Amino acid sequence: MTHPGTIVNLGTYQGKVIGDGDIALVLSVPLDKKGSLPAFVKDIGPRLASVHYMYPELLPVGKTKAPLKSLRTAWERVQREIKTLCPQVKRIAVLGGTDVLRVLVPKLKGDIQDAHGTLFSIGDWVVVPLFPVNWAHQQQWQDKDVKRLLKLERPSEPLPHKSWLPNTFAGVDTLVIDVETDGESKGPDVSTHSLTSMGLQWSDTERAIITDHDVMSWVIKMVAESPPDNVVMHNAQYDLTFMGPEFRAATYGRIRDTMLRARSRGEHVATLKHLGVYYTRSPGNYAWAVAGQQHNYDDPAYICEDLDITWRLFKLWRNENTQSVELYEKCSTMMTEQSVAGTAIDMSMLDTIAVEGKQLEQELKAALTEKYGCDPGSDDLIPALESKGHKFGSFTKTGAVSLTAAVLESMGLDDIIEWRKAQKLDSAFVGKIKDLLRPDNTLPHHQKLCEADTGRTSMTSFNWQQAGRKGPVRKLLVSRFEGGSVASADLSQAELRGACYGANDAVFAAALNAKDMHRENAALAFNKLPDDISDDERTDAKTVVFRLIFGGSAQNDGQRAVEASFKQRFPKLMKWLDAQKSTAERLGQCVSAWGKVRKLDEVLDYRGRWAVGRAGVNAPIQGIASDFALWLTVRVWELMRSNGLKSLVLMGIHDAVLFDIFPGEYETVAQLLRVAFAQLGALLRQQFPIASVLPITAEMQVADNWADTKSGEKLMFSTNEGMDV
């Protein structure tokens, strides 16, 4: 047999016979410069019958990948080659991306990330798409795909399901629920979607699929009346939307979410199809798809695979009940309620906001141009920032300097962030708001748990997290209640205090309890009295603190002076930060205090070892700060519901909680929030010794709209109030 590595025929579509096995390898991606075959070929070994190339050597000018027309032609030729050269072939491994997958199964709605490793039936062959490895951290996925290619058999028929249901699930320990909707045709507002089918599974082999709307309503009511201990979903925030408020109330605390458990354990990809391929022996959600036929998510075979994969994943991760998992699964119900309720909008402001925003954008741009000596939107910005001592250590996957909001924030460049938000005001806010507004003038928003690598939440449709601190956008958010108000409770120094908890540094705790730590740090660094410190010197001091706890370092002379003083003043904190960095580099992952894992192999691929250390410091600190805010949010939400308040917890924005206050309930909401703070304090003091002298604190202010809360009277909150609670 010819050695596979010598078979190089790039630029043609002719296959090469290399053995008498039963597997054909089809390459729809270019080989490396040496023309070497992928490393996994050695695992296929004697079972490899032939190799076929689909990728043209010369691409059209301006193209980086083969045109679909070329791939379709190639696939037709490859099929003829296999039938002619190797009629004994039973399996075909196709190495490629989404484009070639769409060629193989033309009407498939999925992508290669979801469908890799799935067993497709094409003619008499079993075809398995393999994940193309662009980075080292993806190698594990391809290895798993190859093992599936060699071992898994396509079952003779899909998983069976029943057409009947038990009269009750009261004696059932675990119930998996999966719903299909018409959401694809309804747009981003989940509340406008409707159920089309519902799948349930309550044992290893017992499952049912329902399409009758009356029966689905009966099931929802039945489960709400006698909910099992574990009601399992994958992406519960979406599925719970269609269950109704009674169901959400009855199952609260019993919801288990395999997507959140995957995220919490550090999975880079948490789609059900990917997890099913990687962790179970399922043939894949698309195993029953037939080339040329329209794929339908309501297909019983598809739903049964979803149910069974979710069932198996929960069995696998059932005991992974970290503090983070328990918190996130509670938040999934709360955030569903918040998405359904939405936020009220001041319609009179909506048409004038673009005018105010344009004026703000021009003012901010003029200030930045004067400050940095260049147009902030030009290529001159990076050299201008470098000339002022800023160093860039973050890069995009293409190698360009990264100027994301997170990078700018870590560098203390909030002014550029605010200008960018003002730039996008009309396109990113006004237009989207008008498209999303419901008939009752409420605006939907969908807050996603664990979407950010650090563990922080993200938000879509509508994304209030992008509303600038300055400008008119926040003025839009008003109370839905006549005579009502909006309140905002903002946590103070949550990330710095989280770092202090991890380091257990009493000296740093004392500094954080001071009136203005950043001014004091600057005074010590520059040998001045605190009152003599300039705004720029205080900004340098503040920037240094955040850069250090996020794994960075000083960038100009002033910052370097502060950094040297800071390290000398807080050696215990610095030792802990260094230990976090070293552990992350050694293990390739980091873990927050409440158990949220972030795997850093992807960071190593994209940005290198230095970035791994930085992420190993950054992620646990941001993660625990986010968890503190989420804990308070969901706890006060529980207390408000149990006390029958009409006021609403609208959402969390970074380290703040927003409330829609019913007339006359502000003082009661404040009292319940005070109880939540006290209860969090009791929890923190058990886990972090330093919490007894360094509380988590917040200020709550109220006004007619969100923007004006900043000028409202302040109520102060602390986790060290009511230590006997």
| Alpha-carbon distance values, 315 to 175, 177, 257, 323, 689 (Å) | 12, 15, 12, 19, 35
* Predicted confidence (pLDDT) per residue in 18-63, tens digit: 788 899 999 887 666 556 778 888 888 889 999 888 876 555 566 6
Q: What is the pLDDT of residue 12?
A: 40
Query: Helix crossing, 557-569 with 535-549: angle to 10°?
Result: 60
Regions in the chain scoring below 70 on pLDDT: 1-15, 30-35, 56-66, 290-294, 354, 393, 396-399, 410, 425-428, 471, 722-725
Q: What is the pLDDT of residue 5?
A: 30
- The answer to whether 92 and 127 are in contact (CB under 8 A) is yes
CA–CA gap between residue 48 and residue 3 (Å, rounded): 11
- The answer to whether 588 and 612 are in contact (CB under 8 A) is yes
Total residues found in the chain within this entry: 725
- The residues, any chain, with a CB within 8 Å of residue 91's CB and separated by 6 or more, are 22, 23, 24, 125, 126, 127, 128, 149
Take residue 384 and report the two structure tokens written for it.
């201008």
Q: What is the pLDDT of residue 129?
A: 93
Q: What is the pLDDT of residue 291?
A: 62
Q: What is the pLDDT of residue 195?
A: 95
706: β partners? none
- Beta strands (DSSP E) in 304-417 are 343-345
657: β partners? 489, 652
Instruction: Look at the pTM and tell me if it is higher than 0.85.
Output: yes
Q: Is 293 left (phi over 0), alpha (psi -120 to 50) or beta?
A: beta
Kindly calculate the radius of gyration of the chain based on its CA atoms and give it in whole angstroms.
28
Q: What is the pLDDT of residue 588?
A: 94
CA–CA gap between residue 566 and residue 546 (Å, rounded): 12
